[in-house]
Amino acid sequence: MNRIEVFESRYPFDTERVRAAAIYCSDGRLGEQFDEFLQSYLNLPRYDRLAIPGGAASLASHFVTFRESEGLLEQLRFLIDVHQLEQIVLIAHEGCAFYSDRLKISPLQLESQQQIDMRKALQRVRAISKQVQIRGFFARFTHNGKVRFEPVQL
Ligand SMILES: [Zn+2]
């Protein structure tokens, strides 16, 4: 029988918010890389996470993601109000299965569709908040198994 024990995290709880959120795909194989990029490179420790399949795809007015879209917008509205967000980072990633399997986007059009979707997502977020700063990035796999983050012009 499994014993259920209490676990205490080695990370202390910091009450301060950085007033930033990231919307990215829930693909757990990229979790460490997303954290490193956001926390270390963009200097956003303790950023709020909105990890959902396809990331910003659900804000891009695809017919099949209507329900996800409404839910994600509600969550964003809450975070912008209550956590007083000042910036939102959108990250799409290469070879996202949400695009190929759920949205049926062909591999050849995948990346350009992801860029279009990030721009649409920006418009949706703008409709909620005029002040919040929005940035977009594309996570690309390198030939030696690393992940590289490139800025996307929104
Ligand atoms: Zn994905």
How far is it, in rounded angstroms, from Cα 69 to Cα 121? 10
How far is it, in rounded angstroms, from Cα 117 to Cα 88? 15
Give Cα 143 to chain centroid, integer Å: 24
What is the average per-residue pLDDT within 10-21? 96
Q: Which two tokens stand for residue 38?
A: 């956001």
The pLDDT value recorded for residue 48 is 98
Q: How much distance in Å is there from the Cα of 128 to the middle of ligand 1?
A: 25
The pLDDT value recorded for residue 90 is 97
The pLDDT value recorded for residue 61 is 84
Q: How much distance in Å is there from the Cα of 53 to the middle of ligand 1?
A: 6
The pLDDT value recorded for residue 91 is 98
| Cα-based torsion angle of the residue sequence 10, 13, 18, 23 in order, rounded to the nearest 10 degrees | 60
Q: How much distance in Å is there from the Cα of 148 to the middle of ligand 1?
A: 15
Q: How much distance in Å is there from the Cα of 4 to the middle of ligand 1?
A: 33
Asked whether residue 2 carries a pLDDT value surpassing 80, the answer given is no
Ordered domains of the chain (ranges, CATH):
20-152 (3.40.1050.10)
Q: How much distance in Å is there from the Cα of 54 to the middle of ligand 1?
A: 5
Q: How much distance in Å is there from the Cα of 71 to the middle of ligand 1?
A: 18
Please give the share of the chain, as a percent, with pLDDT higher than 90: 92
> What are 23-55's pLDDT values in tens digits?
999 999 999 999 999 999 999 999 999 999 999
How far is it, in rounded angstroms, from Cα 30 to Cα 124? 25
The pLDDT value recorded for residue 65 is 86
Asked whether residue 1 carries a pLDDT value surpassing 80, the answer given is no
What is the average per-residue pLDDT within 113-142? 95
Q: Which two tokens stand for residue 66?
A: 């209507």
Q: How much distance in Å is there from the Cα of 18 to the middle of ligand 1?
A: 25
Q: How much distance in Å is there from the Cα of 92 to the middle of ligand 1?
A: 7
**Who's near 25: CB < 8 A, 6+ residues apart?**
51, 52, 53, 54, 55, 91, 92, 93, 96, 98
How far is it, in rounded angstroms, from Cα 119 to Cα 9? 38
> What are 56-89's pLDDT values in tens digits?
999 998 888 888 899 999 999 999 999 999 999 9
Q: How much distance in Å is there from the Cα of 135 to the middle of ligand 1?
A: 18
Q: How much distance in Å is there from the Cα of 13 to the middle of ligand 1?
A: 30
CA separation, residue 59 to residues 37, 39, 51, 89 (Å)? 22, 24, 13, 13
